[in-house]
Structure 1
Amino acid sequence: MIPVILSGGSGTRLWPVSRQNMPKQFCDIFGQPLQTLTLQRSLKLGQPWIVTSKALETLTELNLKQNQAQQVRVVYEPVGKNTAPAIAALCKLLQSQGHNDEIVAIFPSDHLIKEEEAFLKVVHFAAEVAAENRVVTLGITPSYPETGYGYIQTRAVGLKENGTLKAYSVVKFHEKPDLQKAKEFISQGSFSWNAGIFVFKVSHMISLFEKHQPEMWKQISNLKEDSSNLGEIYSKVQSISIDYAIMEKLNGEELACIPAEFGWSDVGSWDAVSSLQKGKDVLNVLGQENFVFGEQGKHYSMIGMEDVIVVDTKDALMLIKKGLSQDVRHVVDALNQQKSALVKDHVFEYRPWGYFEILKDTETFKSKVIRVNPQSQLSYQSHAKREEHWTITKGSGEVVLNDEVIPVSAGTHIHIPLGAKHRMRNTSNEMLEFVEVQLGTYFGEDDIVRYQDDYKRN
């Protein structure tokens, strides 16, 4: 079996923790990022692939390195075109490598699964059903009338059994219902939540694309084995989900569903998060049932408040009445209209060489703490609108300043004049940390000219 992790989206419903450049699958919400948890599960099924956005390359590579999984094959999409083109491109690449008869399992990267053993058992059973040239979707047995999920309606008679697990023919996919319709679905008993998890044989899925999306497959079939022309293909291909493109066009003999329970959540809202973990300790006065997702080492007190969710980051604070967290999208929409950077960026950012965090950003100066990984270096660069002052606070290395190499260690100060070529290099096996203070007329990250870069950035 080839497990495939689809890692995309911006997770706006979990703003302000999840943002465009740091989507929820990479956020530390449950002790480990959801992408890490998904990768660890997938490794128990086979050698995983990841399909993700080029914009998430740094976070993806860092996650693989942290999990010692650099052998994972990653396909970087130049632009998101939804799940159908992603799966089509994956199938073409697998076909070109001679994996036509392999079973593939598609997993979203941002879902939480608490009962891993039960989950793996269901996936293995799904592979058995998929080997019979059926596309198999995992359905989640609903525990309440949820309006935020799509539903899968199945026939009453099972197709195949394995112990307590049964696979059923699918009658129909249903869009997210209103509350009344969701209650009707629950009462009928033949409906499952659509978890977005699919299992299929590569050759069979290709035949379905040829039949139901011939134009898309014609375009994708030109994909080179090294994916070097993926940008050209994606500039023409239709943006459409696998549900619309393929799943909803299949009949009951072609599509199966295995209803199951394995502690699944798509972690789609702060209400979901608050139901899955304890949150920060809160001192409640004349109030109760409050949840705080906040900063380490910070005290939280609430007076006269009940059923409130507090989400606190370094640059944003949001309070939500429990039950209304789906409306976070309205906050994000308003910030987008204001062209606010809060939707896109945190005050911290991971780079291929390490990490930085903005300490202060004013009209006259900007300060950061910068950490450089062992045996790593920043690009050799210059700035047109700012000078910089570097004070090393931890570790040792060397600064290259206009081609002069200067050894540095904790306590060393280096002045980088306006327009000077410079880079920081960590030559040790420990983290190097320094504080940077910028002075000038503009402090944007785009005021940079790179002359040499280990990571081939412009």
Structure 2
Amino acid sequence: MIPVVLSGGSGTRLWPVSRQHMPKQFCNIFGKALQTLTLERCQKMGSAPWIVTSQTLKTLTELNLRQNNMNDVQVVYEPFGKNTAPAIAVLCQVLLAQGKGDEIAGVFPSDHLITQESNFLKVVKFASEVAANNRVVTLGIKPSYPETGYGYIQTQPQGFRKQDSWEAFPVIKFHEKPNQEKAEGFIAQGNFSWNAGIFVFKVSHMVGLFKKHQPEMWGLVSTLKKDLSNLEEIYAKVQNISIDYAIMEKLGGDELACIPAEFGWSDVGSWDAVASLEKGEKAIEVQASGNFVFGNKEKNYSVIGLNDVIVVDTADALMLVKKGMSQDVRHVVEALNKEKSPLTKDHIFEHRPWGYFEILKDTENFKSKVIRVHPHAQISYQSHAQREEHWTITKGSGEVVLNDEIIPVKAGTHIHIPLGAKHRIRNNTDQPLEFVEVQLGTYFGEDDIVRYQDDYQRK
């Protein structure tokens, strides 16, 4: 099987940890990033995994792969998100062009948690065997309670193929997220599963389904060049639609199967879900109980007179929410977006292709950062129109290029970057290079940059 990981998301449901430029699949919530855990599972399926993700997540994706030595993973970068149907169509076209039309592919979300990996891999193997007979197979989650936050898959009562404790059933219908009464009815009937967004299919068969049910989309995607150079042109024209709407809901029971299963699945869709899976930070509770804290392991937390509260603490935001109400985090995000607050998009830290920076202080008079440059990496050769900079090297060594002059630097070196001067710093060693930057001027935005040379082709 060829495992395909779809990596997108707006980063809102687990705010303030997850944000637009740091969506939850890259957040270290369970010891490792969810995308790392997903790729580790996928690496056990026989073929090297693929990722389909947005160009805006390229830096985080490549950093995640590099940190985990996942050099065999191949990535397709979408110019912008257009939902899951175009993503799967493009992946099918790429595999078709590589002569892999007869292979089985499995599509998996990047941001779900699975705690029973052995069961999961066995179910996926069974699904691939069913899919080999030109059926699309979806994995359903056996519901344990009437959840209103998930879509449901309704299957026929009688299955058509069994293996071990699992059985494949023809699908009758996909149902949108129900209200409480409907959800209770689904559970009572018994032949309903939660929709986990996991699909398994033969590549050539899925291509045929796109040709039949989405001819306009496939007409565009089929013109994709091998080097993907016209992908942006295609995406500008292709419809924004999910694979459920585009294909799955149009298939009959003889074309689409569901395997209801249990493998410790969670879509980690809220802080309530996280609190049910994690212990959280240690907190001193005084006349308090049932509280969950997610924050800084080196920080002391105390809760007095409060019960069943979720506390989420980051460097620039603190959120308290009553357990059972964390779905309403979206209203906080909506309010911040109306204020055009950067808190929904960025943390005080940011990963770049060459390294990392963290904002220490941001005032009207100055802005300071700590900056790390990876071994054998360099920032772009650039200048600023509205600020000068002072760099003090705190760790490692390298060289600064200042108006074409090369200046060796090491811990303790101070460099002054005058207003408008061309400059870059280069780490030409095998160890990280760190320095503190202090900006002085009239504007400290990240967009006050003119780039003359850049290893990463940024504008």
Instruction: Using structure 2 for the length normalisation, give the TM-score.
Output: 0.99
Deviations 1:324-361 (A, max 9, x none): 00000001111111111111110000011110000000
Task: Give, as a single letter, the amino acid of the residue that structure 1 aligns with 2:139.
Answer: L
Q: Which residue of 2 aligns with 1:11?
A: 11
SS of equivalent to 1:447: coil
Q: Which residue of 1 aligns with 2:34?
A: 34
SS of equivalent to 2:457: coil
- Equivalent residue pairs, number: 458
The answer (yes or no) to whether the contact 2:354–2:378 under 8 Å persists in 1 is yes
State the Cα distance separating 1:412 from its structure 2 match.
Answer: 0.9
Distance in 2, Cα, partners of 1:227 & 1:253: 35
2:318 corresponds to 1:317 = yes
The answer (yes or no) to whether the contact 2:131–2:137 under 8 Å persists in 1 is yes
Deviations 1:89-117 (A, max 9, x none): 11111111111101000000000000111
Deviations 1:224-283 (A, max 9, x none): 111110100010111000000100000000000000000000000000000000000011
Distance in 2, Cα, partners of 1:451 & 1:71: 33
The answer (yes or no) to whether the contact 1:170–1:257 under 8 Å persists in 2 is yes
Task: Give, as a single letter, the amino acid of the residue that structure 1 aligns with 2:123.
Answer: V
Distance in 2, Cα, partners of 1:11 & 1:264: 20
Distance in 1, Cα, partners of 2:164 & 2:57: 41
SS of equivalent to 2:149: coil
SS of equivalent to 2:87: helix
SS of equivalent to 1:235: helix
Task: Give, as a single letter, the amino acid of the residue that structure 1 aligns with 2:227.
Answer: D
The answer (yes or no) to whether the contact 1:280–1:292 under 8 Å persists in 2 is yes
State the Cα distance separating 1:299 from its structure 2 match.
Answer: 0.5
Task: Give, as a single letter, the amino acid of the residue that structure 2 aligns with 1:442.
Answer: Y
Distance in 1, Cα, partners of 2:143 & 2:451: 53
Pairing of 1:281-430 with structure 2 (within 5 A): 281-430=282-431
Distance in 1, Cα, partners of 2:57 & 2:28: 16
Alignment gaps of 5+ in structure 2 = none
Distance in 1, Cα, partners of 2:432 & 2:144: 47
Distance in 2, Cα, partners of 1:174 & 1:447: 49
Distance in 1, Cα, partners of 2:373 & 2:321: 37
Pairing of 1:4-403 with structure 2 (within 5 A): 4-45=4-45, 46-403=47-404
Distance in 2, Cα, partners of 1:36 & 1:106: 16
Distance in 2, Cα, partners of 1:449 & 1:113: 45
The percentage of counterpart residues that share the same residue type is 74
SS of equivalent to 2:234: helix
Task: Give, as a single letter, the amino acid of the residue that structure 2 aligns with 1:454.
Answer: D
SS of equivalent to 1:446: coil
SS of equivalent to 2:436: strand
State the Cα distance separating 1:296 from its structure 2 match.
Answer: 2.9
State the Cα distance separating 1:166 from its structure 2 match.
Answer: 0.6
Distance in 2, Cα, partners of 1:119 & 1:361: 47
State the Cα distance separating 1:165 from its structure 2 match.
Answer: 1.1
Q: Which residue of 2 aligns with 1:2?
A: 2
The answer (yes or no) to whether the contact 2:11–2:21 under 8 Å persists in 1 is no
SS of equivalent to 2:378: coil
Distance in 1, Cα, partners of 2:183 & 2:255: 26
Distance in 1, Cα, partners of 2:148 & 2:225: 41
SS of equivalent to 2:140: strand
Deviations 1:140-198 (A, max 9, x none): 01111111000011111111111111100011111101111111111111111000000
SS of equivalent to 1:90: helix
Distance in 2, Cα, partners of 1:63 & 1:120: 23
Distance in 2, Cα, partners of 1:324 & 1:166: 36
Distance in 2, Cα, partners of 1:160 & 1:409: 67
Instruction: Using structure 1 for the length normalisation, give the TM-score.
Output: 0.99
SS of equivalent to 1:56: helix
Task: Give, as a single letter, the amino acid of the residue that structure 2 aligns with 1:277.
Answer: E
State the Cα distance separating 1:136 from its structure 2 match.
Answer: 0.2
State the Cα distance separating 1:222 from its structure 2 match.
Answer: 0.8
Distance in 2, Cα, partners of 1:352 & 1:206: 35
Deviations 1:103-132 (A, max 9, x none): 000000000000111100000000000001
State the Cα distance separating 1:66 from its structure 2 match.
Answer: 1.2
Q: After the TM superposition, which parts of structure 1 deviate over 2 Å for at least 4 consecutive aligned residues?
A: none
Task: Give, as a single letter, the amino acid of the residue that structure 2 aligns with 1:28.
Answer: N
Distance in 1, Cα, partners of 2:240 & 2:107: 18
Task: Give, as a single letter, the amino acid of the residue that structure 1 aligns with 2:71.
Answer: Q
SS of equivalent to 1:123: helix
State the Cα distance separating 1:295 from its structure 2 match.
Answer: 1.6
Which stretch of the first structure deviates more once superposed, 289-298 or 240-249? 289-298
The answer (yes or no) to whether the contact 1:61–1:70 under 8 Å persists in 2 is no
State the Cα distance separating 1:70 from its structure 2 match.
Answer: 2.5
Deviations 1:61-88 (A, max 9, x none): 1111112122321110011100001111
State the Cα distance separating 1:31 from its structure 2 match.
Answer: 0.6
Distance in 2, Cα, partners of 1:296 & 1:427: 34
